[in-house]
Amino acid sequence: MKKKSRTKNQSLFARIQSFLDSQDDRLTEEMERDEEPEPPHESKLPVWGQTVEGLASGEIRFFDKIYPFAAFLLALFIIAVLLVTASRLPRFGGDSNPALNEVTERYLEDGMEETGAVNLVTGIILDYRAFDTLGESHVLFTAAVAVLVLLFDAATEKQDLLENRDYDLAGDTVFREGVRFLLPVILLFGVYVVLNGHLSPGGGFSGGAILGAGLILHSLGYGFAATEKLVNRKSYGALTVCSLCFYSLSKAYSFFTGANHLPSIITSGVPGRIFSAGLILPLNICVGIVVACTMYGFFSLYKRGRI
C-alpha cells in the first residue's frame, strides 16, 4: 500500500493530467473504492463509544469536576492582576512615557541617515535589528518544514480525489473569472509593497503575505496543477533556501565590516530612491519570497498533504 502511494506521488503531474482527461465515472468508481476499506491502524483502536464512557465514569470524572472551577478561578486571578497593572500604567499616548527613551530618539533622529530607509520601522527591523528578522524568517521556514513533516505522511489517495472534486472551486466559472481579474492586481500590489518597503508602509512580511494570498487564490481558481508550474516542491525549496542563504551571507558581511570599521561596498544611496537604503531592498525581497512561499506552502499542505 505504501509503495503504491509513493510511486503515485512521484508522477504527480502525469496523474493529475490523467485525472483531468479521464471521465467522471472513473473518478466516482475510485471514490467508492476508497471509501470502502478502513485504514488498517484503526482496527487496533478501541471503539470509542462505550470504552470511553466506561473509563470516563471512573477516573476522569473527579478531574472533570474540579477542572472548570480551577480554570475559571485561574482566569479570574489573571484578569484581576492584569487590570491592576493596567490601572498603574502610564497614560496612553503620553509623550513622557518611559518607552520613549534614548534608543527611540537615536532611531528616529539618525535612522534615515544611518540606514537610508525613509520608513524607519523597516530601517530598524532590516538594518539595526536584522539579526532578529533573520531569526523570524528561519522560524517561518522551520514551521513550514515541521508542517511538511507532520502532514506529508497523511497524504492519501482520498485527499487527491477530494482536491479534484469536492472542495474544488476550479470548475466554478464565476470564481475563475473573478480570479482572472483580481489576480494581476493582487500580485502587482504585493510586488509594490515588497519593493517599496523602505519608502512607504509595507515590507517583506506584508508584501509576502499578499503574494502568498495571490498564489492561494490562483491555486483555488485554476487548480494546484496550474500553480505547480510556478511553485512546485523543487522551486519552493530552491527559492526559500536561496533567500535565507543570501540573507545570512549578506548580513554576515555587513555585520563583519560594520563591527570592524572596514569600508563596505554597500552604500546607502539617496533616501527616497527605490535603489537606496543599502541592503534593505534585497533583504525585503528575500523575506517576501520566504513569506509568500511559506503561506502558499501551508495552504497546499493543509489542503492536499504536500507542496
Partner 1 sequence: MASFLTNNVEVVAIVLFSIGFTSLLLHKNLVKKIIGLNIMDTAVDLFLASMGYVQGKTAPIVENGIVEASSYINPLPSGLVLTSIVVSVSVTALMLALTVRLYHRYHTLNVDEIYLLAREEVRRK
Q: Give the binding site for partner 1 (CB under 8 A).
A: 41-42, 44-46, 48, 51-52, 55-56, 60, 64, 68, 71-72, 74-75, 78-79, 82-83, 86-89, 91-95, 97, 99-100, 103-105, 107-113, 118-121, 124-125, 129, 132-133, 136, 139-140, 142-144, 146-147, 150-151, 154, 200-201, 205, 271, 298, 301-302
CA angle, residues 10, 171, 155, in degrees to nearest 5 = 30
Shortest distance (Å) from residue 264 CB to partner 1: 23
Nearest to 137 by CA among 189, 233, 204, 196: 204
CB atoms near residue 248 (< 10 Å): 15
Amino acid identity at 215: L
Buried b (16+ CB within 10 A) or exposed e, 259-279: eeeeeeeeebbebeeeebbbb
| CA–CA distance, 257 with 208 (Å, rounded to integer) | 29
Tell me whether residue 91 or residue 261 sits nearer to partner 1 (CB atom).
91
Tell me whether residue 187 or residue 301 sits nearer to partner 1 (CB atom).
301
Shortest distance (Å) from residue 150 CB to partner 1: 4
CA angle, residues 283, 286, 289, in degrees to nearest 5 = 150
Shortest distance (Å) from residue 204 CB to partner 1: 10
Shortest distance (Å) from residue 174 CB to partner 1: 29
Tell me whether residue 99 or residue 265 sits nearer to partner 1 (CB atom).
99
| CA–CA distance, 77 with 34 (Å, rounded to integer) | 52
Shortest distance (Å) from residue 55 CB to partner 1: 5
CB 215 within 8 A of CB 231: yes
Tell me whether residue 155 or residue 239 sits nearer to partner 1 (CB atom).
155
Tell me whether residue 225 or residue 285 sits nearer to partner 1 (CB atom).
285
